[in-house]
């Protein structure tokens, strides 16, 4: 057959970016073994680029002539896509550049977007190489969907664009502390969760948000018959890993504060892009119609805009690629270790929001502000550590595009 794409709308020329350090360090071999032939059979041509260092991909897409490709595909974890999204938004022609269809192949240890897209397709859950094959098929089919982005503004007036999550407290600490377990693949979050549970602490700060809808009826009392909190019935990744808990608890003793954030002046963020019409400067009080959370003691605060937080953690089961909202989930201080563990076990099935846990709050928002009180700590955006301090964010519906099968 000819090498011309049968369907002119289907992206056929890919730039494929591979992070050789992601996951267990096998991204390139996984691509060769599982994806290469599939793309060839679908008449897709591609340029392969192995990244050489952090921010390489970001610089590359910032400078590249994008007209050479129909899509930019990332074979890595969520971190490399975060680089690409921000590289595109740092361009003078950001408005056009961010319309470049993106693609994701799970090659890292944190493959939340890939897992989310597989979940949206309605297929049975799969992990690891089967998830990779599923995402490979999506690329071959080439259906392009809209993807929401979130603009995240820091105290230094740095601005970043995010497609997945903003986290502080327990989840952010696990994100970063678990990077040293990257060699175990997706199980790193399970291990990180268990370690963090042992040194569970309270995070103090102020949280405010702009609700997406008029005040909603309480979420957690709708289905009170749920039995999902019964951890003994969960035959899960997390529960399978419980038997190494003692070991991990022991090892965690000297791991506090081991992490140094990796954001640097090389990551300038962007001052351009769409205006944040919902936000006022961080040194001014939030607008009067925002909701200010009365509690100031938290165990975790996270805003997620896709369903999955990791391959086997469904943080916001109701989320969709371009639903135009952030799903804000926070856990108030006072929750016991046991209840928090149950919460994460239930999250493997996305059942944590339909339990009656009085410490968990879930609300859909369009914008939020978080002001941590402690001078040191960790905030993550899409799983990557960013500048720590006051932060605010707003959704920009359908700003990007992604090949979603
Ligand atoms: P994982 O899911 O395993 O964490 P990521 O895609 O999130 O994989 O990548 C992890 C980190 O590696 C990210 O911060 C990314 O920017 C960085 N990175 C990208 N390419 C390289 C490289 N060639 N060497 C080292 N780090 C890299
Ligand atoms: Mg990562």
Q: What is the Cα 81 distance to its own chain's centre?
A: 10
Q: Where are the domains of the chain?
A: 13-148, 159-399
Cβ–ligand 1 contact at 384 (below 6 Å): yes
Closest ligand 1 atom, residue 262 Cα: 14
The ipTM value here is: 0.98
- Which of 16, 20, 53, 54 has most ligand 1 atoms within 8 Å of CB, for mutation? 54
Q: Which ligand is nearest to the CA of 80?
A: 1
Distance 231 CA to ligand 1 centre (A): 34
* pLDDT at res. 194: 94
Third-level CATH fold of 13-148: Rossmann fold (3.40.50)
* pLDDT at res. 405: 80
Distance 22 CA to ligand 2 centre (A): 7
Cβ–ligand 1 contact at 83 (below 6 Å): yes
Residue from 364, 367, 369 nearest 379 by CA: 369
Contact criterion met (CB below 8 Å) for 155 and 282: yes
Distance 93 CA to ligand 1 centre (A): 26
Cβ–ligand 1 contact at 53 (below 6 Å): yes
Closest ligand 1 atom, residue 384 Cα: 14
* pLDDT at res. 85: 98
Third-level CATH fold of 159-399: Tumour Suppressor Smad4 (2.60.200)
Give me the tens of pLDDT residue by residue for the chain, a chain 405 residues long. 344 455 557 999 999 999 999 999 999 999 999 999 999 999 999 999 999 999 999 999 999 999 999 999 999 999 999 999 999 999 999 999 999 999 999 999 999 999 999 999 999 999 999 999 999 999 999 999 999 999 999 999 899 999 999 999 999 999 999 999 999 999 999 999 999 999 999 999 999 999 998 765 555 544 433 333 333 333 445 544 444 333 333 333 333 333 434 443 334 455 689 999 999 999 999 999 999 999 999 999 999 999 999 999 999 999 999 999 999 999 999 999 999 999 999 999 999 999 889 999 999 999 999 999 999 999 999 999 999 999 999 999 999 999 998
Distance CA 311, CA 272 (A): 32
Q: Which ligand is nearest to the CA of 23?
A: 1
In this structure, is the dihedral angle defined by the CA atoms of residues 384, 386, 390 and 396, taken in order, positive or negative?
Answer: negative
Cβ–ligand 1 contact at 22 (below 6 Å): yes
Contact criterion met (CB below 8 Å) for 330 and 207: yes
Residue from 390, 392, 394, 391 nearest 365 by CA: 394
Residues in CB range of 107: below 8 A, 6 or more apart? 18, 19, 22, 23, 26, 27, 30, 31, 75, 76, 77, 132
Q: Any idea which residues carry the catalytic annotation?
A: 78
Closest ligand 1 atom, residue 55 Cα: 16
């Amino acid at each position: 057959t000819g090498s011309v794409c049968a369907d002119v709308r289907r992206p056929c020329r890919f730039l494929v970016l591979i992070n050789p350090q992601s996951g267990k360090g096998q991204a390139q071999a996984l691509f060769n073994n599982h994806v290469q032939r599939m793309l060839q059979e679908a008449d897709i041509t591609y340029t392969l680029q192995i990244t050489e260092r952090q921010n390489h991909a970001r610089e590359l897409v910032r400078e590249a002539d994008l007209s050479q490709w129909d899509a930019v595909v990332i074979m890595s974890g969520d971190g490399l896509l975060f680089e690409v999204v921000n590289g595109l938004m740092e361009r003078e022609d950001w408005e056009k550049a961010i319309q470049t269809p993106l693609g994701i192949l799970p090659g890292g240890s944190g493959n939340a977007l890939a897992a989310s897209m597989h979940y949206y397709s309605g297929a049975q859950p799969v992990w690891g190489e089967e998830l990779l094959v599923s995402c490979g098929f999506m690329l071959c089919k080439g259906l392009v969907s809209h993807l929401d982005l979130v603009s995240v503004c820091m105290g230094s007036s740095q601005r970043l664009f995010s497609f997945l999550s903003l986290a502080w407290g327990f989840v952010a600490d696990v994100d970063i502390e678990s990077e040293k377990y990257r060699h175990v693949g997706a199980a790193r979050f399970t291990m990180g969760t268990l370690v963090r549970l042992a040194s569970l602490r309270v995070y103090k700060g102020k949280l405010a948000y702009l609700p997406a809808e008029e005040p909603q009826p309480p979420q957690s009392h709708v289905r009170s018959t749920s039995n999902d909190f019964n951890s003994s019935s969960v035959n899960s990744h997390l529960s399978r890993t419980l038997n190494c808990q003692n070991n991990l608890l022991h090892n965690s003793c000297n791991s506090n504060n081991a992490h140094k954030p990796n954001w640097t002046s090389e990551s300038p963020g962007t001052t351009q892009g769409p205006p944040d019409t919902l936000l006022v400067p961080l040194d001014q009080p939030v607008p009067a119609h925002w909701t200010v959370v009365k509690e100031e003691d938290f165990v975790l605060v996270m805003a997620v805009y896709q369903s999955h937080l990791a391959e086997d953690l469904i943080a916001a089961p109701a989320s969709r690629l371009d639903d135009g909202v952030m799903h804000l989930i926070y856990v108030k201080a006072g929750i016991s270790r046991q209840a928090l563990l149950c919460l994460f076990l239930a999250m493997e099935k996305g059942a944590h929001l339909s339990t009656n846990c009085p410490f968990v709050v879930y609300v859909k928002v369009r914008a939020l502000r978080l002001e941590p009180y402690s001078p040191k700590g960790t905030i993550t955006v899409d799983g990557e550590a960013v500048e720590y301090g006051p932060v605010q964010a707003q959704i920009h519906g359908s700003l990007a595009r992604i090949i979603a099968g």
